[in-house]
């Protein structure tokens, strides 16, 4: 019998949303924090011609994309690594810096893939309580152990949607030992860029990594491109565990082209924020608790886990797939991705009906 290693056998598969609808209903996925808009039309225009080079391996240095990211953000191209989604970078960071003698620390309601990545490296996964659904620097610092090697903070967070200000991240970094890597995952960073708190300068300290992705505001979830700014000595170690040809020809071309159309991306963020706030305010009016979100989704808190499950079932009966959050320690919550105005209106009216005591 061919057996996996015991730690892989003990792992659960990473849970993705089940995208199905009752017979005769269309699946309305509001479950994966994908963009409500297609990518910039410029992306499809260049992809066909980029494919004439598909017989060649992609550029292992991501040269065009790296240079474009460096120019846009005013950061050194040499510190940028691109990944097959930022998930690849998260996994490679834990594989590089953690093993069975170490621990990863994250806020209690953090992005669940941080736990998976710790598991891949056989590291223990520790969590620190949040204040409501917002990460807390005090509890994170209090939860640090002698064997903590990486602290992950998604800012804004998923599934919470909340964020902590730059000054709090500075306080976190200053309070962590110098042998602990701080990874700030800004997958939703573009939705909060208007707040004017860029973090990239933290990387020059040598102990902090900033991650971003093309999957959210740039609308390229299906093409799998993430990136990060790394201290150079960390980048060179992480590269050893990465697939050397990780971002396809299509991915590099699509990401560089999407990056060049900043106006389109900014418009996506503005449309998303408007629909998110309209949806959230509508439900707050009928008594739902929804924390302020700085992302492309809203986290709805119900009276209890049973109420959340009932609401999930009511939405699913009409084909609307939201995302239950037990895996992130929030069984009384559902996360709803900002979709089209029409799809959000359907979700909001089903939930309003429920709040007003209506039956499914």
Ligand X SMILES: Cc1ncc(COP(=O)(O)O)c(C=O)c1O
Binding residues for ligand X, rule: CB under 6 A, are: 33, 85-87, 111, 154, 158, 185, 187, 213, 215, 221, 226
Q: Helices 341-355 & 262-285, crossing angle to 10 degrees?
A: 20
| Least gap, CB of 134 to ligand X (angstroms) | 15
CB of 193 to ligand X, least distance (A): 16
The CB-of-204 to ligand X minimum distance in angstroms stands at 23
**C-alpha 235, offset from chain centre:** 21
- Dihedral sign (CA 190, 192, 197, 203): negative
Sorted by sequence, the CB contacts under 8 Å of residue 164 that are 6+ apart come out as 134, 135, 137, 153, 155
Beta-strand ranges (E) seen in 214-282 are 226-229
Cβ-based nearer residue to ligand X, 33 or 148: 33
Least distance CB 168 / ligand X (angstroms): 17
Shortest spacing between CB 195 and ligand X, in angstroms: 17
Is 215 or 350 the residue whose CB approaches ligand X more closely? 215
Of 127 and 354, the one with the shorter C-beta distance to ligand X is: 127
Q: Whose Cβ is closer to ligand X: residue 102's or residue 337's? A: 337
* CB nearer ligand X, residue 218 or residue 279: 218
Residue 354 near residue 311 (C-beta atoms within 8 A)? yes
Q: Cβ-count burial of 6 within 10 angstroms (0-12 exposed, 13-18 middle, 19+ buried)?
A: exposed
Which residue of the chain is nearest ligand X when measured via CB? 85
Residue-wise burial string across 96-129, b where 16 or more C-beta atoms lie within 10 A, e elsewhere: bbbeeebbbbbbbbbbbbbbbbbbbbbbbbbbbe
Q: What are the CA-CA distances from residue 147 to residues 126, 142, 155, 221, 252 (Å)?
A: 11, 14, 24, 34, 37
Whichever of 185 and 332 has its CB closer to ligand X, that residue is: 185
| Shortest Å, Cβ 245 to ligand X | 17
Q: How far is residue 218's CA from residue 34's CA, in Å, rounded to a whole number?
A: 10
Nearest distance from residue 113's CB to ligand X, in Å? 6
Name the residue nearer to ligand X (CB basis): 158 or 246.
158
- CB of 14 or CB of 57, closer to ligand X: 14
Q: Are 327 and 15 in contact (CB under 8 A)?
A: yes
Q: Is the Cβ of residue 221 or residue 307 nearer to ligand X in the bound state?
A: 221
Least Å distance, CB 295 to ligand X, is 8
The tokens of 166 are what?
């730059």
CB of 334 to ligand X, least distance (A): 16
Helix, strand, coil content of the chain in percent (nearest 5): 45, 15, 40
The 10 Å CB-count burial string (b at 16+, else e) for 46-72 is bbeebeeeeeeebbeebeebbebbbee
Residue 44, SS3 per DSSP: helix
User: What are the angstrom distances between the C-alpha of 305 and each of 263, 301, 313, 324, 355?
Assistant: 41, 9, 12, 10, 15
């Amino acid at each position: 019998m061919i057996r996996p290693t015991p730690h892989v056998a003990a792992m659960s598969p990473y849970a993705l949303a089940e995208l199905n609808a009752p017979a005769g209903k269309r699946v309305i996925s509001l479950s994966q924090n994908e963009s409500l808009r297609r990518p910039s039309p410029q992306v499809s225009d260049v992809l066909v011609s980029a494919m004439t080079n598909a017989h060649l391996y992609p550029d292992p240095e991501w040269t065009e994309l790296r240079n474009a990211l460096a120019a846009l953000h005013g950061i050194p191209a040499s510190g940028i690594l691109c990944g097959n989604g930022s998930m690849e970078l998260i996994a490679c960071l834990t594989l590089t810096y953690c093993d069975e003698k170490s621990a990863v620390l994250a806020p209690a309601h953090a992005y669940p893939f941080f736990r998976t990545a710790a598991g891949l490296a056989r590291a223990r996964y520790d969590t620190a309580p949040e204040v409501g659904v917002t990460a807390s620097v005090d509890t994170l610092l209090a939860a640090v152990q002698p064997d903590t090697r990486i602290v992950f903070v998604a800012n804004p967070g998923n599934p919470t949607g909340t964020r902590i200000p730059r000054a709090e991240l500075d306080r976190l970094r200053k309070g962590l030992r110098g042998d602990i890597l701080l990874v700030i995952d800004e997958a939703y960073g573009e939705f909060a860029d208007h707040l004017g708190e860029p973090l990239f300068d933290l990387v020059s300290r040598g102990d902090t990594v900033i991650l971003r992705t093309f999957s959210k505001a740039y609308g390229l979830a299906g093409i799998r491109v993430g990136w990060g700014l790394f201290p150079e000595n960390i980048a060179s170690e992480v590269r050893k565990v990465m697939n050397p040809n990780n971002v396809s020809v299509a991915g590099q071309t699509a990401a560089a082209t999407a990056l060049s159309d900043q106006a389109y991306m900014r418009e996506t963020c503005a449309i998303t924020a408007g629909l998110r706030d309209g949806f959230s305010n509508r439900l707050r009016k009928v008594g739902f608790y929804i924390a302020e979100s700085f992302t492309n989704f809203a986290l709805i808190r119900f009276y209890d886990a049973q109420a959340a499950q009932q609401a999930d079932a009511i939405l699913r009966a009409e084909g609307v797939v939201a995302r239950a959050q037990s895996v992130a320690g929030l069984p009384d919550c559902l996360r709803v991705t900002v979709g089209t105005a029409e799809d959000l209106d359907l979700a909001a009216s089903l939930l309003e009906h429920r709040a007003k005591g209506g039956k499914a």
